[in-house]
């Protein structure tokens, strides 16, 4: 097993760590900017050098707070990579705000979102910029032109999407080079195995980024029937292998996918980050992997 995870190439000059620290809940963690700076340092020491943000996280405050933590670290912060997303507009009580929650993939909004992210983060480049959700009003030719221009200007390293289905991914990918698709996948959400989402990325050698790999905490919920079955399966593998803990095996199950996935965590605990890095160093056998899948679904494969 390894503790320091390697980097994974997504595009010509863009690589991210195999484990990415997700900042969705960062404003709920109760950290000072100095505390977050220390957390970033502890992640980097484990090889977790990539951090996932979005313009709407923390009610719109997460990116700026993360930028303050970067400033508190000192130096040029060249040892980390920034992933951020935009394209969701939230209602606002202030004048001129959105009336309803909606998606906005317009070039004007996304360009403004990139510029604002660069400003509050104190960066010259966003390593990976993602469209947060599929937009039924998306103009893919306009988006293709914008993505090309942002890369050419050096404002982003690569462009990708988040929560896109297989057909949506193929449709947009025909116009725009897509570096990744950030999707939900876990023993509690195995649909991407069957609905073509992972196949679409495999077909173009695109690395998926997996969010909620532990099922949003359901893995630890004693009252969750699926969680109990999966937990028992992982604990059996732990006993068979003589391992000290079973939680890294949950991450190993996701890492076993042939698409070389990148996994996002959502924890403020360094030990929780370490569990993911340990999982990256465990190679489950085929039988072990299907044993967990059977536990997750409650039945064997056909």
> Which residues participate in catalysis according to the annotation?
57
The β-bridge relationship of strands 102-103 and 14-17 is unpaired
Closest CA to 208 of 246, 263, 250, 135: 263
Neighbours of 281 (CB within 10 A): 17
Give Cβ neighbours of residue 168 (< 8 Å, ≥ 6 apart): 134, 161
Closest CA to 276 of 46, 53, 52: 46
Which pairs from 188-194 meet CB under 8 Å and 24+ separation? 188/212, 188/215, 188/216, 188/218, 188/219, 188/226, 188/227, 188/230, 188/296, 189/215, 190/293, 190/296, 190/297
Helix, strand, or coil here: 251? helix
Closest CA to 171 of 194, 193, 204: 204
Residue with tokens 């050096």: 154
Reading phi first (left if > 0) and then psi (alpha if -120 to 50, else beta), residue 255 is in alpha
Tokens for 260?
Answer: 């070389």
Helix, strand, or coil here: 180? strand
């Amino acid at each position: 097993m390894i503790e320091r995870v390697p980097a994974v190439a997504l595009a010509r000059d863009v690589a991210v760590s195999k484990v990415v620290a997700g900042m969705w809940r960062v404003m709920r963690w109760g950290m000072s900017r100095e505390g977050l700076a220390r957390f970033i340092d502890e992640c980097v020491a484990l090889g977790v050098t990539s951090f996932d943000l979005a313009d709407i996280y923390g009610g719109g405050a997460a990116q700026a707070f993360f930028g303050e933590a970067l400033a508190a670290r000192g130096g040029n912060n060249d040892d980390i990579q920034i992933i951020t997303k935009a394209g969701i507009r939230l209602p606002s009580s202030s004048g001129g705000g959105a009336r309803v929650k909606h998606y906005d993939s317009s070039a004007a909004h996304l360009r403004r979102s990139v510029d604002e992210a660069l400003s509050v983060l104190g960066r010259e480049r966003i390593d990976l910029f993602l469209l947060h959700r599929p937009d039924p009003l998306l103009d893919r030719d306009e988006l293709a032109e914008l993505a090309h221009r942002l890369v050419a200007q050096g404002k982003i390293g690569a462009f990708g999407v988040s929560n896109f289905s297989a057909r949506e991914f193929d449709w947009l990918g025909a116009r725009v080079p897509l570096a990744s698709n950030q999707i939900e996948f876990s023993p509690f959400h195995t649909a991407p195995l069957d609905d073509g989402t992972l196949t679409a990325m495999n077909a173009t050698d695109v690395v998926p980024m997996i969010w909620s790999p532990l099922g949003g905490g359901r893995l630890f919920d004693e009252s969750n029937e699926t969680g109990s079955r999966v937990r028992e399966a992982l604990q059996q593998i732990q006993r068979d292998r003589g391992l000290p803990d079973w939680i890294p095996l949950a991450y190993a199950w996701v890492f076993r996918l042939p698409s070389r996935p990148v996994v996002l965590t959502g924890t403020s605990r360094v030990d929780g980050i370490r569990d993911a890095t340990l999982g990256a160093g465990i190679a489950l056998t085929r039988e072990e992997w299907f044993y967990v899948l059977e536990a997750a679904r409650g039945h064997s494969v056909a």
